[in-house]
Amino acid sequence: MLATEVHPAQVAGMFYPAEPESLNALIADMRKRARPDGGVAPKLVVAPHAGIVYSGSVAATAFGPWARRAEPPRRIVIVGPAHRVAFHGLAVHPAPKWLTPLGMAPVAPIAHAKLAEARGVFIDPRPFAGEHSLEMHLVMLQAMLPAPFEIVPILVGDVDPHDVAEALRVVWGGPETAIAVSSDLSHFLDRSSAESIDADTARRIETLDAPSLEARRACGFLPIKGALEVAAERDLRASGLQLATSADVGADPSRVVGYGAFAFEYSASARLAEADRELLLSACMAALGEAARNGGKPPALCLNGQSAALSPWRATFVTLTENERLRGCIGSPAPRRPLIDDAIANTVQAAFADPRFPQLKESELPGLRLDISILSHPRSIPAGSESALVSVLEPDRDGLILGVGRRRALFLPSVWRQLPDGRAFVRHLIAKAGLETTGWPEGLEAMRFRVESFGAPWRSADVAEIATAKNEAAQALH
């Protein structure tokens, strides 16, 4: 085989063992240390690319859901930052195959050809010399995925993140394609400082806040920014799965590198595991019971969940009903705190701060039902006229936010049950926002969202039992 037909391993024997048996054994050990949760079918993940002994367990956490899929992805797009060669744009290697100690990985020919025509992309093998950010993902995936797969490697230089986003759109594909963004987090801070900034970076990723990311937060901040842009427009839900540092495996705590695993799922299909739903409902009911016994004063709990699934920043609404009649509903239109904290706070607010209803009495608890709605990232939709807005809405599925300036209002998808006609749905929401209803409001902005909703009839829950999770909660991402 000609040298131009294969891209050989660049960091075997340095970042990971060069012998296949040793490499497989090391990755198997990393998988045992990985967190088991990570969503059902993430379309995209962010995973670290340091030496396997340092970040392998975090990477295994990110890739684990793909390995557990009934039909694992057949094509992996791997996009990561350049470390060795400075260049402008996005580089793709001309070789149709990549070689590692675990075998040959073919490059997807059609996706590769389309990518080569994308904005800012050029074909050149030179930036790949000595580079590890893509190779580290490849060897982990070769060991973890149960079936062969094609790859689409993209090396990111100094480039506008919008060009990264455009390249990802070109190769996005369907269920057969998954995307791995390669990046470590903070570099060479003391352990405490690294954990603090990495936790804040995780919040920014979970809220799809691409503009706020910068080089000091992640070496792959440009690939991440591009991925977040596409995630927002395609309605993906981001979850932090694990955070760690090199000090966790014995490195110098005064100068660490941070690592993070994140999963992105389509909001329309994303859902918490049943155990996490039960824990969240129990925590909300425990808080509500305690508040009802104390005249509306919320319990002094600060929980971030026993599971990593309850720790990401999420926007939630909590609805209380009594004999199928609304008894209170309050929520957060945008993420502002961890999921479990937001749901607990909105539960208490729905019971004691909804101005449409008197404060809840303890005697009312047995007749209540509590429902939690987790909102997706709102996306702008056309609102130039009533007909234009109604034509793009999907009844029973879309939640809607309408507003002009600071006057805004929100309907959950459940409101479609009372207002099944699209025009009535929109007109009632305009009125709820306090806007003029005799004509179409000038400058009206509209955003749609989806929800994951679940609930249960009232059941007594012990605040003390929930509070025992506090120590584990603080480590939910670690």
Which structure tokens are listed for 410?
A: 């929100």
Residue 199: which domain range? 3-266
Please tell me whether residues 45 and 79 are part of one structural domain. Answer: yes
CA distances, 291 to each of 286, 360, 453 (Å): 9, 9, 23
Query: What SS3 class is residue 351?
Result: helix
> In terms of domains, do 247 and 161 share one?
yes
CA–CA gap between residue 298 and residue 359 (Å, rounded): 13
Q: Which residues pair with 121 in a beta bridge?
A: 90
Distance CA 376, CA 378 (A): 6
- Same domain? 292 vs 318: yes
Residue showing tokens 């025509």: 117
Let me know whether 282 and 415 are in one domain.
Answer: no
Helix (H, G, I), strand (E, B) or coil at 458: coil
* End-of-domain residue from the set 236, 266, 296: 266
Of 266, 295, 327, the domain-final residue: 266
- Asked if residue 360 and residue 218 are part of one domain, the reply reads no
The reply to whether 431 and 300 lie within a common domain is: no
Tokens 């950010």 locate to: 133
d(CA 294, CA 272) in angstroms, rounded, equals 31
Domain count, the chain: 3
Parallel/antiparallel/unpaired status of strands 150-156 and 187-189: unpaired
Contact 283, 348 (CB under 8 A): no
Residues 92 and 214 in one domain: yes
Instruction: Check whether residue 333 and residue 415 sit in a common domain.
Output: no
Q: What are the pLDDT tens digits along the chain (478 aa)?
A: 344 789 999 999 999 999 999 999 999 999 999 987 655 689 999 999 999 999 999 999 999 999 999 899 999 999 999 999 999 999 999 999 999 999 999 999 999 999 999 999 999 999 999 999 999 999 999 999 999 999 999 999 999 999 999 999 999 999 999 999 999 999 999 999 999 999 999 999 999 999 999 999 999 999 999 999 999 999 999 999 999 999 999 999 999 999 999 999 999 999 999 999 999 999 999 999 999 999 888 777 655 445 678 999 999 999 999 998 999 999 999 999 999 999 999 999 999 999 999 999 999 999 999 999 999 999 999 999 999 999 999 999 999 999 999 999 999 999 999 999 999 999 999 999 999 888 899 999 999 999 999 999 998 876 555 555 444 444 545 5
Q: Enter the tokens of residue 468.
A: 């025992």
Residues 337 and 201 in one domain: no
Q: Are residue 301 and residue 442 in the same domain, yes or no?
A: no
CATH of the domain at 397: 3.30.1490.150
Is residue 122 within a helix (H) or strand (E), and if so which, with residue range?
A: strand 121-123
What one-letter code names the amino acid at 254? S
